Structure 1
Amino acid sequence: MSRLTVAMQISIDGYVDSRLPDADWQVWNWGPDWPWSADLRAAFNGLLAGASGLLLSRPMADEGYLGHWGRMAEQHPGDPDWEFSRAIGALPKFVPSRSGRPELDWPRTTVLNGELTGAVEQAKKLADGDLVCFGGAGLASSLLREDLADELRLFTNPGFAGEGNSVFGPWLATRNYRAAHSTAHTCGIVETRWVR
């Protein structure tokens, strides 16, 4: 049976972004001089090596996520450390939508209209295997709320956001995940796998 992993970057205090303009919580961002390390890139290679498809929010698809990783793949051709960036381009991508908006202008990307549970099931069927979701916050929160995530992969940055959006809420108080693995990467990010 296909599984869905929700992978999110968070701050120590549990936010996925910050409303404070001077917050410096995120080690790993979309800039050119990331201090993220080879061991973290290896972890991402492993995460995507087992994926048959990606689940993305419409804002992530619209706001440059796919273009960014396409450029990274071009900048690191043949480099095994950056295999995940090529996988992001090569894997089929699915964007759940209730709006019925037309297809995105990205290769191998399908908009799945309708309720979230049905869209996730359709994405699993079309991918014919496991899915990885990279959010954003609204989609990840909805997947957790609807109990659709089989695994939660948290990449905790070594800083505090202070205030911002969170994928967690009181509706999770009755749910339990089991810690499956934790790794402190040399750049300071701690990766934790939680499974159902």
Structure 2
Amino acid sequence: MGGAGRLVVAMQVSADGFVDSEVPGADWQLWNWGPDWPWSADLRASFNALLAGASGILLSRPMADEGFLGHWERMADLHPGDADWEFSRAIGALPKFVVSRSGHPRQRWPRTEVLGGGLAETVARAKERAGGALVCFGGAGLVGSLLREGLAEDLRLFVNPGFAGAGPRVFGPWLVEHGHRAGAVAAYGCGIVESRWSRG
């Protein structure tokens, strides 16, 4: 996870480097965050450990508006006591920080705070309030901005065994300047490869 106060970006990406697809019918993502979870046991354990080591969650306003928190609350209710779904309970229990430059989410959720202002200032405030490591799942616009401004200390990339063809990316030339270095790499039974990168 990294040290206390670090921002960890965790993203699913396609084999060709996209985080979503604009190609109709592209079946690049092994798990689409729905109720069926085809990840193998080794990857499930790694993902649950990611949430277990977090002190807070950073989200974009569109993700909050579009039901991210409500979805995982429902999944936690559907799988009570199931160790595979411990991460969904962690999402509900951890403090959430929604990055918003223009307003509040349409829905209000427990343990969720909306933070405005410049991105660097917002991330610093979220880290202070969380008192430990933050995990960000996106969306793509927020993650791209975090990487562009050098605000993400750690990257956890879950590379799917599929091609998106075209769509949004979160990577760009600015990553060369920010000094992320490759760490652990794990190939999981379901075909996903997790690549970890850290700086500082």
The TM-score bracket by the shorter chain reads over 0.9
Please say which of residues 8-17 and 32-41 is displaced more in the overlay.
32-41
Paired position in structure 2 for 1:89? 92
> Is 1:133 the counterpart of 2:136 in the alignment?
yes
SS of residue matched to 2:164: coil
Counterpart contact for 2:61–2:105, Cα < 8 Å: no
Paired position in structure 1 for 2:180? 177
Paired position in structure 2 for 1:70? 73
Question: Equivalent pairs: percent with the same residue?
Answer: 71
Paired position in structure 1 for 2:189? 186
Please say which of residues 97-106 and 45-54 is displaced more in the overlay.
97-106
Counterpart contact for 1:12–1:158, Cα < 8 Å: yes
SS of residue matched to 1:173: helix
| Cα separation, partners in 2 of 1:15 and 1:169, compared to 1, 3 Å | same
TM-score by length of 2: 0.93
Matches within 5 A, 1:9-24: 9-24=12-27
Within the candidate set 79, 84, 104, 2:82 is matched to 79
Counterpart contact for 1:155–1:189, Cα < 8 Å: yes
Distance in 2 separating the partners of 1:46 and 1:94: 20
Paired position in structure 2 for 1:32? 35
Runs of 4 or more, structure 1, over 4 Å off, are: none
Cα displacement string for residues 152-176 of structure 1 (whole angstroms, at most 9, x for unaligned residues): 1000000010000000122223333
The letter for the 2-side match of 1:51 is: A
Give aligned pairs, total. 196
Distance in 1 separating the partners of 2:191 and 2:31: 10
Paired position in structure 2 for 1:46? 49
Cα displacement string for residues 40-63 of structure 1 (whole angstroms, at most 9, x for unaligned residues): 221111101111000011111111
Shift of 1:98: 1.1
Counterpart contact for 1:103–1:109, Cα < 8 Å: no
TM-score by length of 1: 0.95
Over the residues paired in the alignment, what is the CA RMSD in angstroms?
1.4
Cα displacement string for residues 71-97 of structure 1 (whole angstroms, at most 9, x for unaligned residues): 111111112221111000000000111
Q: What runs of 5+ residues in structure 2 fail to find an aligned partner?
A: none
Within the candidate set 160, 168, 176, 1:157 is matched to 160
> Is 1:114 the counterpart of 2:117 in the alignment?
yes
